[in-house]
Amino acid sequence: MQKTMGKVAVWAAAVGLVVGPAVPGVASGGLAPGAVTSQATVEGTERLAGANRYETAVAVSQHLYPAGADVVFVARGTDFPDALAGGPAAAYLDAPVLLISSATTVPNVVRAELARLAPREIIVLGGGQAVGTPATDVLGQYAPVSRLAGTDRYATAAAVASLWGTSASTVYVASGRSYPDALAGGAAAAHQGAPVLLSTGTSLSAATADRLRTLNPSRVVVLGGEFAVPASVVDKIRQSVPGASLSRYAGTDRYGTAATVAANVWPQGSTEAFYATGLNYADALAGVPAAAAHGAPLLLVKQGCAPATTQGATADLGVITQYVLGGSVAVADGATTASCGVNPPVTDTVLAVLEDIPVKGRAPLTGYDRAEFGPDWTDAVDVQGGRNGCDTRNDVLRRDLDNLVVRAGTNGCVAETGWLDEPFSGDTLWFERGVTSQSIHIDHLVPLSDAWQKGAQQITFTDRKNFANDPLNLWAVDGGLNSSKGDGDAATWLPPNRAIRCDYVAYQVAVKAKYDLWVTQAEKDAITTIVNGSCPTKKIPVANDVPALRP
């Protein structure tokens, strides 16, 4: 424990944190009546669970630290990004992760666990909106409190990685837009003593790139496939640390990625493994440092069964003891060994991705301006087709027009004529520059103002430019129908051509997931109705590429 406190002291001094004294008079003691404990369910399986995510985190803490802990990490339990990066950091400092229910509220079960643990340091993950002053005032009654935070989830992860000082031989990079890959990868990173940094849907934030350069790893591991961490992010990693070797651990879905991580990080096998639901993040947040403490991988299951990739990983690892995170509502008894059948996992479907997108009300339109998304159709973006010497409008026309003729002397860029199989109406339209071109628009499937009211205010200007020019979000369409759509979402406007509606909402879901946007409840209901009615197993689109220029 002295080694752990030494790491904290060195880090605190390095980043200039001031840690105040604990408020006296808070006694250590046992848990209150009804508090949670770890519970063995069947031979070879131990369930770490409580009635909710806060009690489950306490159960994990009790399992790992029966005699108390010098350091405790605290994160918001209703959002995942801060705690994702915090898991490996907690393992690095030999500390549990506890969760609070709001920015102002510390659950009683967490207070009781803090009293029992009697820590000398509490590290809060995230800014004041995640863990506010009322909560830190309560936490300060149990130990001095410091905070690891940035302006957003990416900067917070970079701040967490400051615990490693100026050197980490390995760094993991996961999507900051979704949680499954970072959970399994977080356990692996923790096992290898490595931090986890988070990427946006198209690039690395300045804070992430700076932290990568500071840590100067010899190896970077990318978690998840192209939808999670696209090639543009990998390019930015190479630019930030050109001397590092890059590996990607990915499967066909979140279950396969977790299995791939386990196979690569535990090639000699593991007699122990932790299991969490692949359909929610809450129970596994505290499980990452627990898995690291056991030197074990974290695998993902469905509520009542284990996909074939998870079963295969369990067998290949030679697992004897299984630790299940969360109650039976999340992971049923026997789910880790029950087969999901012959059907492949479907967590890359539109409906599965939609479930990962937050549901909120519209924010005010205050401050919205087209200029907030950069110049119209700029080529200076980091998405497919960006920086190719051709503006975005012509990139999309070259992609969507049949029998395309390009203007001579434009390096193959400017569309002159062609036929458009117009998606909104199902009609075929003639495009001729200067004649009919004004009647064909390039539609943002997720409109700019809709995005502004559903999270785009909170992403970077660079990401907003990428969003406005990403071919994933752009179709060439009939101008009149595009005008009738206006700024509508799926709850207020759908294409008259019913045959295209599944594709239409699928791309909207993909775009909102990629750019950290949310949906309203009415919008989610409308999308769910369309997909369930016509294409329930439809896969999420991952690209809508533009063709290369051919002068």
- Residues 371-424: pLDDT tens digits? 999 999 999 998 888 889 999 999 999 999 998 999 999 999 999 999 999 999
Query: Does residue 79 carry a pLDDT above 70?
Result: yes
Query: Does residue 224 carry a pLDDT above 60?
Result: yes
Is 166 in the same domain as 198? yes
Average pLDDT of the residues in 115-136:
95
In contact, 450 and 361? CB cutoff 8 Å? no
Instruction: Give SS3 for 80.
Output: coil
Cross-strand partners of 475: 443
Is 467 in the same domain as 333? no
In contact, 103 and 129? CB cutoff 8 Å? yes
What is the C-alpha separation between 143 and 5, in angstroms, rounded?
13
Q: How confident is the model at residue 13 (pLDDT cuts 50, 70, 90)?
A: very low
Provide the domain count of the chain.
2
In contact, 110 and 100? CB cutoff 8 Å? yes
In contact, 201 and 177? CB cutoff 8 Å? yes
Query: Quick one: pLDDT at residue 292?
Result: 93
Q: How confident is the model at residue 55 (pLDDT cuts 50, 70, 90)?
A: very high
Is 344 in the same domain as 261? yes
> How do 97-100 and 219-223 pair as beta strands?
unpaired
Residue with the bigger pLDDT between 184 and 242: it is 242
What is the C-alpha separation between 75 and 139, in angstroms, rounded?
12
In contact, 363 and 380? CB cutoff 8 Å? no
Answer whether residue 184 is part of any domain. yes
Is 214 in the same domain as 153? yes
Location of structure tokens 């009300």: 361
Query: Quick one: pLDDT at residue 285?
Result: 82
In contact, 317 and 262? CB cutoff 8 Å? yes
- Residues 459-498: pLDDT tens digits? 889 889 999 999 999 999 999 999 999 999 999 999 999 9
Query: Quick one: pLDDT at residue 111?
Result: 97
- Residues 454-466: pLDDT tens digits? 999 988 898 899 9
Is 399 in the same domain as 256? no
Query: Quick one: pLDDT at residue 147?
Result: 96
Average pLDDT of the residues in 427-434:
93
Answer whether residue 540 is part of any domain. no
Give me the DSSP letters along 269-312: --SEEEEEETT-SHHHHTHHHHHHHHT--EEEE-SS-B-HHHHH
Is 336 in the same domain as 412? no
Helix 287-294 with 53-64: angle, nearest 10 deg: 20
Answer whether residue 27 is part of any domain. no
Answer whether residue 190 is part of any domain. yes
Query: Quick one: pLDDT at residue 356?
Result: 84
Instruction: Give the domain extent around 333.
Output: 2-13+37-348
Q: How confident is the model at residue 30 (pLDDT cuts 50, 70, 90)?
A: very low
- Residues 292-302: pLDDT tens digits? 999 999 999 98
Q: How confident is the model at residue 27 (pLDDT cuts 50, 70, 90)?
A: very low
Is 161 in the same domain as 291? yes
Average pLDDT of the residues in 212-225:
96
Residue with the bigger pLDDT between 17 and 210: it is 210
Query: Quick one: pLDDT at residue 341?
Result: 66
Is 431 in the same domain as 462? yes
Query: Quick one: pLDDT at residue 7?
Result: 53
* 106 closest CA partner among 86, 133, 126: 133
- Residues 35-49: pLDDT tens digits? 444 443 334 899 999
Give the side-chain half-sphere CA count within 13 A for 545. 6
Is 344 in the same domain as 379? no
Is 237 in the same domain as 294? yes
Amino acid residing at 546: V
Exposure class string for 115-125: b at 16+ Cβ within 10 A, else e: bbbbbbbbbbb
Is 84 in the same domain as 181? yes
In contact, 309 and 251? CB cutoff 8 Å? yes
Answer whether residue 529 is part of any domain. yes
User: How is the chain split among helix, strand and coil, in percent rounded to 5?
Assistant: 40, 20, 45
Query: Does residue 82 carry a pLDDT above 50?
Result: yes
Cα radius of gyration rounded to whole Å, the chain? 25
pTM: 0.70
- Residues 339-362: pLDDT tens digits? 986 444 445 899 988 988 888 999
- Residues 163-189: pLDDT tens digits? 999 999 999 999 887 778 888 899 999
Lowest mean pLDDT among 22-31, 84-93, 280-289: 22-31
Query: Does residue 521 carry a pLDDT above 70?
Result: yes
Query: Does residue 8 carry a pLDDT above 80?
Result: no
Average pLDDT of the residues in 301-314:
92
Is 299 in the same domain as 161? yes
Q: What percent of the chain has pLDDT over 90?
A: 70
Average pLDDT of the residues in 221-229:
90
Answer whether residue 32 is part of any domain. no
Query: Quick one: pLDDT at residue 199?
Result: 92
> How do 321-325 and 45-48 pair as beta strands?
parallel
Answer whether residue 267 is part of any domain. yes
Contacts of 17 (CB under 8 A, 6+ apart): 146, 147
In contact, 406 and 423? CB cutoff 8 Å? no
Answer whether residue 90 is part of any domain. yes
